[in-house]
Amino acid sequence: MIFTAAAAVLAGTVLSCILAILPGLHIYNVMGLAALYLHSLNGGGLAAIPEVTIPFMIGLVTGWSVINTIPSVLLGAPDESALFTVLPGQNYLMTGRGYEAAMLIGAGSLIGIFLLVFMIGPFAPKYVPVIRYVLSPHMHWILWVIIVFILMSEWPKRGNRGPAGWGRFFSAWSTLGAGLLTFFLSGLLGFVLLYRSPVSIDNAFQNIMPAFAGLFAIPWCLLNAVSGAVIPDQRVCDRLNIDGDLLLRSGVAGGLGGGFAAFFPVVTGGVGGLLAGHATAQRDERVFMMSQGVSKTVYYTGALMLFFVPGLHLTRGGGAWILKGLYMPHTWGDYYLALGSIALSGAVSFLFMSPLTKWTLKLIKTVDYRIISVLSLGIIVALVFSITGWAGLFIMIVAAGIGLIPVLFGSRRLNGLGVLLLPIACNLSGLGEPVAAFLGLQ
């Protein structure tokens, strides 16, 4: 059985490493499709074996959380959790050091896996239930604090110069206003999807997927498809300019940010990255980038790991929600299987990091990455349509319209997270029902 499980982890990891190269494609979309296939197998009387399904799915998530650094840095197309790696990544890329940037963030991901397996994993069953018990009554106001932090930490990018007056005032507020508008509109979209989703009930478990694709993936693909940046020759190095001190600092900041995102409901990797970034950004760009790698890996993989903690029954993150429909972990054996799968997949995917980065560098030299972006756009649209149908495409287009606002106005794309944060924060505070009634959604 151990070989079957190991083979399933490796299969999931290899598949996710290939898929992670495609900019904009999210692993949860692929997992959703896999879950539909497994449900259809169950419906046909063929039960999927948990010892294969669990490691395979964990391999998908872990491998993707490590390797998705490559499109973030080299193709400028991150998922929501890696938004903050784009700017420093592009700086490295434009000075011929894209490989180094990708490997720095990859090193952060490796630290994240170490944190999960050797530090959080052994203590989680004892302490996470206590933390959950203590924090549960406070979730609502903590979510509101996070929302305020996201909105207030946006800064004006224009209006610093020129004569004082309304012109300068509006110029300064254009980015801030666009950020607030993005948050508000995506929040309204979230209310519609939560209370009266147009997605067919037969595939309702993926009803938020078209919104995420539209808010985050489609704008990147469109932007990359119309931009024409020329990438200079890249240098491949065999050493990274980091030491134990830098690794430790990035591990602490990224671990806290990613751990926070993994534990709190609807707080995603992007928020974890924001917190980790604020803890490190002023000090050292290398620490910042590595902390982003730690944060996104701890978020994606950690949220899935918490699902397996015996007796905790905590479902956080899209991966855990998809798995919940396939299997409910009950035993310590499940937990050990999950931890082992994370360790194995993390190790293998980091080994893939260097060759895949080199391969992608060669690819973007020979193939115009605008073509890659268009190809990715096609795959995303096809996935959304195949799972959620015309209604899903409609949602995706509306969400893409909202997701393009920060792109065009230069505000922070993280504001698109209002799609989850606003309705859930309202619900936890007891305001969801009156707001939904006011909007005519009940």
Partner 1 sequence: MSSAENNPVYGFQVKRPVRIRVLQVASLVLAVAGLILLYLFSVNRDIPRIRIGEITPAMNFAIVRISGEVIRDTHIFQSGGMVFNLRDGSGEIAVMGGRAQAEALTSTRQLPRRGDRVDVAGSLSVGADQQIKLCIHSSRQLFLQRNRAEFSSEETPRVPLADVTINRRGDTVTVIGTLTAIDIPGPGAKTPYILTLEEGGAELKVVFWDDVFQEMRKRLPPPGKTISASGRIEVYQDTVQLKVRAAGDLQPVSVADAEGFAVEAKQ
**Cβ 202 to partner 1 shortest distance, Å:** 6
Is 38 or 298 the residue whose CB approaches partner 1 more closely? Answer: 38
Provide the minimum distance between the beta carbon of 284 and partner 1 in the complex, in angstroms, as a whole number.
35
CA R_g for the chain: 21
Q: Minimum distance from CB of 261 to partner 1 (Å)?
A: 21
Q: Which is nearer to partner 1, 60 or 404 (CB)?
A: 404
Residue 81 tokens, joined: 């959790």
**Cβ burial 375-393 (10 Å sphere, 16+ → b, else e):** bbbebbbebbeebbbeebb
Task: Using the minimum distance from each CB to partner 1, give the nearer residue, 197 or 234.
Answer: 197
Distance CA 64, CA 350 (A): 10
* Shortest distance in whole angstroms from residue 138 CB to partner 1: 14
In eight-state DSSP terms, residue 241 is S
Nearer Cβ to partner 1 (144/327): 327
Q: If we measure between CA atoms, which residue out of 273, 300, 353, 425 comes closest to residue 74?
A: 353
Pairwise CA distance, residues 98 & 72, whole Å: 10
Q: How many contiguous H segments (helices) and E segments (strands) does the chain have?
A: 19, 0
**Cα gap 189→186, rounded to integer Å:** 5
> Are the beta carbons of 307 and 321 closer than 8 angstroms?
no
User: Given the complex with partner 1, which of 94 and 439 has the nearer CB atom?
Assistant: 439
CB of 199 to partner 1, least distance (A): 8
Q: How far is the CB of 407 from partner 1 (least distance, A)?
A: 9
Instruction: For partner 1, give the closer residue by CB, 197 or 292.
Output: 197
Two tokens, residue 149: 């932090």
The secondary structure element, H or E, covering residue 283 is none
User: Which residue, chain included where needed, has tokens 């309702």?
Assistant: 204
What is the rounded distance in angstroms from the CA atom of residue 303 to the CA atom of residue 14? 21
The residues, ordered by sequence, that sit 6+ positions from 103 with a Cβ below 8 Å of its Cβ are 240, 353, 354, 357
CB nearer to partner 1: pick between 102 and 428: 428
Binding site for partner 1 (CB under 8 A): 35-36, 39, 42-43, 181, 185, 188-189, 192, 194-198, 201-205, 207, 321, 324-328, 394-395, 397-398, 401-402, 404-405, 408-409, 430, 432-433, 436-437, 439-442
Least Å distance between CB 102 and partner 1?
Answer: 32
Nearer to partner 1, 207 or 292 (CB): 207
Least distance in Å: CB of 428 to partner 1? Answer: 10
